[in-house]
Structure 1
């Protein structure tokens, strides 16, 4: 009996080991499917392949922070993409949930979708390091996990992003160039504390300034990537005696520019995001502006990637999205759109991925949970 129990235990252990071994995607050789769209970050990027399954698929988008226009439009564009006829044919259900800045709530939401049997979970993470258990659970359940924008720091999922640190570097280079050669004072209007994108952009911004060797003072305020918050903290900084030689705003750029113009103390070059209202204001006021980022439609690229992975196609584990940077004066109808809302972010079309939208498609959707 003891011998039989020992054999049974060994057999169970072997079965569990085999299950662990096959959990998650297989690592395979590239190139992957649709390389013009699913562009690997580098020549050393790993390629994944999940066993193909029959569609249509259940896909969930688990968002965290939503209190700005970019996040609202990101969700609206994701819904618009999922509703396009060719895409909708592959989707049985597309669910969106935003949980705020609560990391535990975002983890719980992702786990809940795994438990409900969703085929793929897309995450814009509140914390890059907190989702290892979610990835492991998903891989054990043969659920594809993808992250974008604020990507998960785990090698066993698909990460889709732009070079966020590079955007911070570009902002620093622009302000250094525009502010002359002597000592300078820059205002940095940052995103929510602890958000991975904010951290990466700040690192790039400070790195360029340090490497320049110039005497530059950087004053940090938190604008939460929101126009109202950005306007308030900028106005407060100026009212406290701040005269700045340049401003870097990660998001909510039109609010920051408005605060500077309303104060009437100085006109400094501004490096901001791709908000339509910011570009309109830069043109109207004749400001020296850099406007760069990546459009909210990266959520759509992530959905496209999820569908490819679920069909068993080979995809890179890390996908690089293009970054768009423009300079004032912005071209009407190309870089700035007078007939679209000021909250509209440019850069929603990814031609290499055959992803594009009309303003009406985006406007017909909301950023609400569904």
Structure 2
């Protein structure tokens, strides 16, 4: 079985002509529009699997690591894993590629990762195919159609935030603050494209852009600087780290304005307490668990969409309810995107917070 898997792996990368409707568990692995499907010859388990994270310096990445470990700890998943390793390598594509190559050389069956950049992985995709290793990027995905990738529609996520803000402003504004993410990542690029698809249509709009690195502390600093330089804005669109953005505005006694922000617990607490209109939309860090589940299903021979689009969890500010979609008794850094009902039972806070974000 193993040799058949290895021999067929490269051909499997080219065998993407099946329609996505033929893929396994479409209620979970929802195909992106016009995507094809990918499958590999089935391989016997249990499996050696690794998650190679890049940047680990914000709460979302910590939650993604905890989600991956929580998934692997569930008994029904643990019995399928001979080994499970998690490492973070920083914001360096060469280091991430080297780590993936090391796991390939060590005979790992599958590797999930959130890519440092979208275009540097062509060589490692070929090496993984030759070795019979399944690669499943998620969140920050690659500019390739050769492997299965797990994501939300990042452009749609950006559009949702920007459209909500502009709808609350009746489609008119003179100045908007845009807080972007970590430069060089496909997620940052695509969310901004989605936001700009809305904001570019607003006549006479000035867009003040800052780089928040998807981090609460960084966002608070750069937004404070931007407000001191550019003055009052009429709305905010923020990729992540929105709690820092709101805190900077409150500290500056800025008027309450519509916000399109992320879904960390602290963001929703601040929106509810300060009656901030807008939307809290999540790039759920539990996506890391879906990538692991997809890797296992691919190893079992199931066809999956080449591009999987998970649903975007979101709630409008006037729908916020304590104990239901935000949790005053939990840490502000806790991310409310704890899972996808279509795929598996969402994690409890205890499951997630019982996992470390460290390499293992």
- Scaled to the shorter chain, the TM-score interval is over 0.9
Partner Cα distance (2:11, 2:77) in 1: 29
Q: Which residue of 2 aligns with 1:339?
A: 329
Deviation at 1:57, TM superposition (A): 0.4
Q: C-alpha offsets along residues 169-204 of structure 1, whole Å, 9 cap, x if unaligned?
A: 112212212224544201111112212111111111
Matched ranges for 1:347-358 at <5 A: 347-358=337-348
Q: C-alpha offsets along residues 202-239 of structure 1, whole Å, 9 cap, x if unaligned?
A: 11111211234x21100111111111111111111112
Whose radius of gyration is greater, 1 or 2? 1
Does the alignment pair 1:237 with 2:226? Answer: yes
Structure 1 pair 56/337, CA: closer, same or farther in 2 (3 Å)?
A: same
Structure 1 pair 27/150, CA: closer, same or farther in 2 (3 Å)?
A: same
Q: Which residue of 2 aligns with 1:312?
A: 301
Cα pair 2:9 2:132 within 8 Å, conserved: no
Structure 1 pair 155/258, CA: closer, same or farther in 2 (3 Å)?
A: same
Cα pair 1:24 1:142 within 8 Å, conserved: no
Deviation at 1:150, TM superposition (A): 0.6
Cα pair 1:301 1:355 within 8 Å, conserved: no
Normalised by the size of structure 1, how large is the TM-score?
0.91
Match of 1:217 among 186, 206, 216: 206
Q: C-alpha offsets along residues 235-279 of structure 1, whole Å, 9 cap, x if unaligned?
A: 111122421001111111111101101111322111100010010
Partner Cα distance (1:21, 1:295) in 2: 32
Q: Which residue of 2 aligns with 1:261?
A: 250
Partner Cα distance (2:171, 2:47) in 1: 56
Q: Which residue of 2 aligns with 1:6?
A: none
Q: CA RMSD in A?
A: 1.7
Q: Which residue of 1 aligns with 2:71?
A: 81
Partner Cα distance (1:150, 1:364) in 2: 25
Partner Cα distance (2:165, 2:245) in 1: 15
Q: Which residue of 1 aligns with 2:82?
A: 92
Match of 2:181 among 188, 191, 201: 191
Does the alignment pair 1:323 with 2:312? Answer: yes
Q: C-alpha offsets along residues 266-319 of structure 1, whole Å, 9 cap, x if unaligned?
A: 221111000100100111111113101231101111111111111111222111
Q: Which residue of 1 aligns with 2:284?
A: 295
Partner Cα distance (2:339, 2:12) in 1: 35
SS at match of 2:201: helix
Partner Cα distance (1:208, 1:240) in 2: 25
Structure 1 pair 183/301, CA: closer, same or farther in 2 (3 Å)?
A: closer
> Does 18-27 or 299-308 show the bigger shift?
18-27
Partner Cα distance (2:14, 2:111) in 1: 14
Cα pair 1:186 1:218 within 8 Å, conserved: yes
Partner Cα distance (1:20, 1:305) in 2: 16
Q: Which residue of 2 aligns with 1:130?
A: 120
Q: Which residue of 2 aligns with 1:282?
A: 271
Deviation at 1:20, TM superposition (A): 9.0
Deviation at 1:21, TM superposition (A): 6.1
